[in-house]
Structure 1
Amino acid sequence: MQRRTFIVSLSAVALSGTLWQNAALASSVVAGESPYGPLGEPDANGVALPAGFSSRVVARSGHSVGGTLWHPAPDGGACFADGTGWIYVSNSEVPLVGGASAIKFGADGSIERAYRILSGTNLNCAGGRTPWNTWLSCEEIFRGKVYETDPYGARGAQQRPAMGKFKHEAAACDPDHRVVYLTEDEDDGCFYRFVPNVWGELSSGRLEVFCTDNLWRAVPDPAPGVFQKQTRHQVSAARHFDGGEGCHYADGVCYFTAKGDRTVWAYDTGRQTITAIYDSTGTLTGIDNITGTQGGDLYVAEDGGNMEINIITPGRVVAPVLRLDGQSESEITGPAFSPDGTRLYFSSQRGTSGERAGTGGITYEVSGPFRR
């Protein structure tokens, strides 16, 4: 598979936040060299990486890891500090059993144990971590729900119906404005924010939808019945996005992706405007999960395409940082960095088999000199 060259189309707008801070964005910006250098040949795990990086497989669907059977169709994920080690949480995007699992790593990166933190839910796709160290696991189904789970496995999961019942995708917490942003995986989906009555407690609050006049308006009925008007159609002024996917908040900007029109959007919380920082004029395909670093780099995973994770740097450089060969029927999911920023976790949802049930899922760890 050949490495491709692609173009990023950026609007002439200055965004706040680390990524594009104080920068007037030019149009038709051509991707440059990756800060890590070019990708080498695939390693023994089928992962093409820059020099100085290495990969390992930490889990396979249907196989035991840390004493627990790893779930099928691994999807959205996040990392949590745990003493001298850390935890990686991963959703399972399969019907009826869904849920999420966690892997506990020791200080040296060894796997100490794994365990379920959520079971009996439906098509848990993406989600998001909270500042108080819980994992929001979101159901990507009609009238899907958000479950707040404990990565450490000490407390049972709690359903959060006030956050809306719709085809949920991802969530990103904004501690500066004390809201949680939510994406919706419909071809006319919306961009929402949940305003809890008390920050750190998600059992009650107000669900709002972003509108075409750049205002947020309350959704009248966040949990509609099957035959009632769904959340995305309750506010006539709501702005719609084609297939909302990943979501990441940093320094006054919430970045979210839409797979339908292959766009990375940026919501500037100061100006209350949404701008495309990457749009469909480029050749990056299957834009899906997104994460970032404290230094301002964004990492965008592909659903299909060349099966790459690409970096978008504060210097407006866009380039692949890894690629999975021989897995064109799969998608890359759940990118998340370990707390110290030296290890990147992610999954190939269907692996080399391409099975829609996700029985071939593979969860990877990449180590190396990542920028922080």
Structure 2
Amino acid sequence: MGILNLLLFTAAIAVNAQQAALTEDSRCGCYLLKGNDTTYFSKHRFFDFRNHDHHATVPPVIAEVKDTPNAPVTSPFFNSTDWTDFWMISNWNNSHGTRQDSSLLMVNSPNNVYLEANPSPTNPSPKSWLSLRTQRLPEFQTAAEIESLSAKFKFVSLRMLARTIGAQGAITAMFTYRHSEEYSQVQESDLEIRTSDPKNLIHCTNQPSLNSSGDVEARASKNATMPDGLEWSDWAVHRLDWTPGRTTWYVDEVEVARIEFQTPREVSNVILNAWSDGGEWTGDMEVGGSAYLQVQWFEILYNTTEKLEEERQGREEGEGVCHSVCSVDGTPEVGRPVMLWSNGVGRGLGVFGGWVPVVMVTVLFLLA
């Protein structure tokens, strides 16, 4: 084949490779982030709460402390394997002094995690969403938290189409968390919204955010502004990428913060919550007030230490880890990946990390 024909043939394949097609997770060896050609993830999950109006119910708030933590789940959905193989609903309380400035008993409850039907007759899409509720009662604050079953995530890309609404004096959040009894040993990347703040302000932080003297470490946190006139009470896609040496935050694909100081290094959980404890950070909500984190869908790309061990064994056995490379960025159907390239020929080629882009393989084949 002449060199001109070779170049034209290779260019045609490159064009086809750019026209990425929808695929299924079962066909993806790994996932690549848009704008980042060095960070790959091995797994993908998508949780869609937009069409569960048949499960939707808004349970009344439980007013008694003793009945709050052990309340049953609010819907059969939360007993389904689609939920229970990834999430658990928290019921802990802060009676043991989890925050030094807390002035109020806070109790998490399954009763505050529910599917809510869209009440709008003029804008009925989506049909439903997931709600996490916190409300101030005379004697305590009832709150909501969901946490991943696994505490062994090591690097994630978290995305949620969400909004925060309600009274001042609450926090809603999406974050990674490595627990430690000592604050200095905690590792955490946070997206937090304070309902007492201006509605275009969000907080992006790598924890610990205080130094040994108890003062705020400016390099660990950024007060970010929602782009394009958005407010946190608007529906928007919030994204947190925890990658080696860096945490990056986006709103509707616009980067709003990037922090390389205090980036987590150890395996962690993934958590969403809505809460208040009357402290300086949350503020003190008025009795009867309530606030909500509402989520249409939640998506996660991730690695875990268990999966990394499987991949190491696969490499030793000569199997390609990333034989098919997918992306969830720019997909025409949210939640479904697109195939960037797939190449069985690349399996076992250790010099390329287990995969070779289709154009490169074609050139190598034709020149052989």
Fold-level match, TM-score > 0.5?
A: no
More helix by share: 2
RCO (CA 8 Å, sep 6+): is it higher in 1 or 2? 2
Structure of greater Rg: 2
